[in-house]
Amino acid sequence: MDFLKEYSENIDRELRSLAIPESPSNLYDPLRYFFTMGGKRIRPILTLLAAEKFGSKNHEAMPAALAIEIFHNFSLIHDDIMDEAPVRRGKETVHKKWDTNIAILSGDVLLIKAYQQLNTYPENILKELHTVFNKTAIEVCEGQQMDMDFENISTISRSNYLEMIKLKTSVLLGCALKIGAIIAGANQTEQQQLYDYGINMGIAFQIQDDLLDLYGDPSLVGKQVGGDIIANKNTLLMILAKEDANSDQLNRINELTKELNSEAKIQGVLTLFEQLNVNDKCAKLMNSYYDSAQGHLNNIESKSNKSALWRLTNALQHRAY
């Protein structure tokens, strides 16, 4: 996605130039640290692209793009505590580098800083911006809670899983786009089409993550292939497998969750997935969401005049990692 490099560099620069006080250093050093960690910056780029699509200049949507990215960083810092994750993007997580208390409080202050960015807009759109942002922020918390709850449940239904990834991930993409559209003065229908585009793309993207964990290009994925299987994670692949498995296959799945040899575990699950044609079913489901996403975009774009969002979606759909 080289055509978006300038956008992500702009966002990085803006994040680094935010006025973060020096003191108390235990509160603010983690913010500076996190802002330099990098990342794809997909969410704030969506805000900028949505606003541009409706005639707005980059500069105008930047504070909202930062609000979205800062909110995302808040949720990552708190999620990393909850998931006991030691590493993010190749660097120590905040609660590991400092401690849990500092990570809680730095996350809190980030959430408030996101609201400060949002509060820079004119009064006539402030309520609208806050309404969608608040609703989304709460949904993201609900999604994270569902994800934690699912860790203690062996069988999750497909619809519950899709609802969880929608809340945990997709609504923030929808919100990022809608906020950009509001700032650029798009009408309600256009806002809603962009929001729905984001929801569908987000779900597709998450399903793809589950697929790439197992079937991605090992040299590009950048993490252990089959990591989800080793961790007994409820992925969509596993959920679809359990949907179609006969009792022998279900027993085999249960056995494999206790298998200590990682290679044997991954191979065993892969064999079952092949028998049940799970890879194909999962890819079909993913593509149906990507198609829905493009459909919502089609509703507000002419065939001859495709926005950068169209190109971004294609690039995401065909990523190998």
Cβ-based nearer residue to its own copies, 125 or 283: 125
Cβ-based nearer residue to its own copies, 138 or 264: 138
Cβ-based nearer residue to its own copies, 82 or 264: 82
* Smallest separation (angstroms) from its own copies to the CB of 103: 9
* Smallest separation (angstroms) from its own copies to the CB of 26: 6
* Smallest separation (angstroms) from its own copies to the CB of 132: 11
* Smallest separation (angstroms) from its own copies to the CB of 56: 20
Cβ-based nearer residue to its own copies, 111 or 245: 111
- Per residue, what are the HEC states of the chain? CHHHHHHHHHHHHHHHCCCCCCCCHHHHHHHHHHHCCCCCCHHHHHHHHHHHHCCCCHHHHHHHHHHHHHHHHHHHHHHHHHCCCCEECCEECHHHHCCHHHHHHHHHHHHHHHHHHHCCCCHHHHHHHHHHHHHHHHHHHHHHHHHHHHCCCCCCCHHHHHHHHHHHHHHHHHHHHHHHHHHCCCCHHHHHHHHHHHHHHHHHHHHHHHHHHHHCCHHHHCCCCCHHHHCCCCCHHHHHHHHHCCHHHHHHHHHHHCCCCHHHHHHHHHHHHHHCCHHHHHHHHHHHHHHHHHHHHHCCCCCCCCCHHHHHHHHHHCCCC
Cβ-based nearer residue to its own copies, 41 or 113: 113
Cβ-based nearer residue to its own copies, 31 or 266: 31
Positions that interact with its own copies (CB under 8 A): 24, 26-27, 78, 81-82, 100-102, 104-105, 107-109, 111-113, 115-116, 118-119, 123-124, 126-127, 130-131, 134, 137-138, 141-142, 144-146, 148-149
